Amino acid sequence: MRKVCVIGWPVEHSRSPLIHNYWIGLHGIEDAVYERLAVPPDAAAGTIRNLGGLGFIGANVTVPHKETAFAALARHDAIAKRLKAVNTIVTTPAGLEGRNTDGYGFIANLKDRSPGWKAMSGPAVILGAGGAARAIAAALEAEGAPEIRIVNRTPARAEALAADLELKSAAVYSEDDAQAALRGAHLLVNTTTLGMKGESEVMFGLTALPRGALVTDIVYTPLETGLLRRAREAGYKTVDGLGMLLHQAVPGFEAWFGVRPEVTPELRALVLADLGLK
Ligand code: ATR
C-alpha cells in the first residue's frame, strides 16, 4: 500500500482525507490510502522523522506542526526553506523532503476563480502576519507583485515578516492606517481568522480600494465572510478561500501518486457539502 496521512493536533477537522481519497477513487489508484494522524506537539518531530518507519510514503502537515516539520526534516524545497514551514512531505531517493504548497494554492485559486488576474498589475494588501500571511506574501512576490503591503494589529509582527522573508518591496501599516494601505492597491487578502464563524469581522472600510481590485479571504467557513460580502456589495470582484485548500493539495498528490489531479466543481461541491456549506 502507498499510505499518506495528514498530521495535525487536532486533525479531525481536516478535509485533506476527503480531497485526496476522492482523487484516489477518481483515478482508480487501488494501492493508495490517505489517513488522519492526530499527533500531539511533543511527538510531532519524532513522528515526522519516522514517517517511513510508520509505513507512510508522504504526508500533509497542518496546524500546529508546520514549523516543527520544517525543523525536523533535513531536506526542503526552496519555498519551504524560505518560509521555514512545511505542509507537504514527499519521499525522494535522498530521503524525506519538506515542501510548502500553501502559496501555490493561494495563487492557483485566484487564477482559477478570477481568470486574467495577475499579481504584477499592482500592490497587494495582506491583512495579517501569521504563517498563512508569510506563504501568501512570498507567493505574491514570486508572481511579480510590485509591492506587498501588510496591515496587522501588531505592526511589529508584520515588520518581522517582511524582514525575515527579505521582501524586496514591503510596507507595514497599522489597522488605523488601513485606508492608506488600500490606496492604489490591486488585491486585498485577509489571512487572519477575522470573519470565521464565531469570530469578529474585519472592520475597516473599503472606500480607498480602487474599483477594479480583487478581494479574497482565506477563511472559508462561512464561504462568504463579512469582508467578502461587503466587497461584493460595493462592486468588487471577490474570491472565497475554499479553492486555496483544494489547490494546495494538487502538488502533493502528484508527487505521491504520479498523477496531477484536477480541482473540479464536483470536488468543490463535495467539500462544501462536508462542511455543511452551499
Ligand atoms: P496563521 O499561522 O494561521 O496565519 P497566526 O500565526 O496565529 O495564524 O496569525 C494570526 C493573524 O491574525 C495575526 O496576524 C494576528 O494579528 P497579531 O499579529 O496582531 O496577533 C491576526 N489576528 C487574529 N485575531 C485578530 C483580531 N481579533 N484582530 C486583528 N487581528 C487578529
pLDDT 10s digits, 126-183: 999 999 999 999 999 999 999 999 999 999 999 999 999 999 999 999 999 999 999 9
Atom of ligand 1 nearest to the CA of 128: 14
From ligand 1's centre to the CA of 123, what distance in Å?
Answer: 21
**Any idea which residue has 523532503 for its cell?**
97
| Mutate-to-test residue for ligand 1 from 193, 202, 227, highest number of ligand atoms within 8 A of CB | 193
Average pLDDT, the chain: 97
Report the pLDDT value the prediction gives residue 112, as an integer from 0 to 100: 98
Atom of ligand 1 nearest to the CA of 131: 2
- Gap between the Cα atoms of 103 and 93, Å rounded: 25
Residue 117 to residues 146, 180, 229, 237: CA-CA distances in angstroms?
A: 14, 23, 20, 10
Residue 109 CB neighbour total at 10 angstroms: 23
Q: What does the buried/exposed string (b/e) look like for 85-106 if buried means 16 or more CB atoms within 10 Å of the residue's CB? A: bbbbbbbeeeebbbbbbbbbbb
| Mutate-to-test residue for ligand 1 from 68, 84, 153, highest number of ligand atoms within 8 A of CB | 153
Q: Which domains, from first to last, does the chain contain?
A: 2-100+249-275 (3.40.50.10860), 104-243 (3.40.50.720)
Atom of ligand 1 nearest to the CA of 191: 4
Report the pLDDT value the prediction gives residue 66, as an integer from 0 to 100: 98
From ligand 1's centre to the CA of 241, what distance in Å?
Answer: 17
Q: 166: exposed, middle or buried (C-beta count within 10 Å: 0-12, 13-18, 19+)? A: exposed
Please confirm, yes or no, whether 81 is among the known catalytic residues.
no
- Gap between the Cα atoms of 148 and 169, Å rounded: 6
Residue nearest ligand 1's atom 15 by CA: 128
Report the pLDDT value the prediction gives residue 61, as an integer from 0 to 100: 98
Query: Which residue, 65, 61, 63, 73, is CA-closest to 44?
Result: 65
From ligand 1's centre to the CA of 153, what distance in Å?
Answer: 8
Report the pLDDT value the prediction gives residue 278, as an integer from 0 to 100: 73
Residue nearest ligand 1's atom 5 by CA: 130
Ligand 1 pocket at CB < 6 A: 128-133, 152-154, 157, 191-194, 200
The per-residue pLDDT string of the chain (278 residues; one tens digit each, 9 = 90 and over) reads 999 999 999 999 999 999 999 999 999 999 999 999 999 999 999 999 999 999 999 999 999 999 999 999 999 999 999 999 999 999 999 999 999 999 999 999 999 999 999 999 999 999 999 999 999 999 999 999 999 999 999 999 999 999 999 999 999 999 999 999 999 999 999 999 999 999 999 999 999 999 999 999 999 999 999 999 999 999 999 999 999 999 999 999 999 999 999 999 999 999 999 999 87
Distance of CA 88 to the CA centre of its chain: 12
Residue nearest ligand 1's atom 14 by CA: 128
- Gap between the Cα atoms of 83 and 229, Å rounded: 31
From ligand 1's centre to the CA of 172, what distance in Å?
Answer: 15
From ligand 1's centre to the CA of 192, what distance in Å?
Answer: 5
From ligand 1's centre to the CA of 112, what distance in Å?
Answer: 27
| Mutate-to-test residue for ligand 1 from 100, 149, 189, 192, highest number of ligand atoms within 8 A of CB | 192
Confirm if 187 and 125 have CB atoms less than 8 A apart: yes
- Gap between the Cα atoms of 47 and 44, Å rounded: 5
Distance of CA 206 to the CA centre of its chain: 24
Q: Is 116 left (phi over 0), alpha (psi -120 to 50) or beta?
A: left
Confirm if 237 and 217 have CB atoms less than 8 A apart: no
